[in-house]
Amino acid sequence: MNDVDKEYFRLIDLIINKGRVKKNRTGTDTIGVFGEQAKFKVDMDAFPILTTKKVWFKGIFHELLWFIKGDTNIKYLVDNGVHIWDEWAYTKYKNVSDANKSRHISNIPGYEDYKDSHWEDISQQEFVRRIKEVPHFYERWGDLGEGTYGGMWRSFPYWDGSWIISKEDVTHVDQLQKIIDKLKSNPDGRRMIVSAWHPYWIDHCALPPCHCLFHFNTEELTLDERLQIFSKGWDVLEARKQWASGSVKIDEHEALDEHCIPRRRLNCLLYQRSCDTFLGVPFNITSYCLLTAMIAHCVGMDPGVFTHTYGDLHIYSNHLEQIKEQMTRNSMVLPKLWINPNVRDLFSLKYEDIKLVDYQSHPAIKGEVAV
Give the residue numbers annotated as catalytic, written as ranges.
210
Q: How far apart are CA 323 and CA 330, in angstroms?
A: 13
For 239, left (φ over 0), alpha (ψ -120 to 50), or beta?
A: alpha
Please state, in angstroms and as integers, the Cα–Cα distance from residue 342 to each residue in 44, 298, 303, 346, 358, following that order: 17, 10, 18, 12, 22
Please state, in angstroms and as integers, the Cα–Cα distance from residue 312 to each residue in 13, 18, 30, 131, 309, following that order: 15, 13, 10, 33, 10
Tell which residue, 266, 245, 267, 248, has the closest CA to residue 258: 248
Tell me which amino acid residue 132 is. Answer: K
> Residues 314, 38: contact at Cβ < 8 Å?
no
Q: How far apart are CA 33 and CA 323, in angstroms?
A: 16
For residue 356, the 8-state DSSP code is: E
139 three-state secondary structure = helix
Beta bridge partners of 171: 158
Q: How far apart are CA 158 and CA 199, in angstroms?
A: 11
Q: How far apart are CA 284 and CA 280, in angstroms?
A: 6
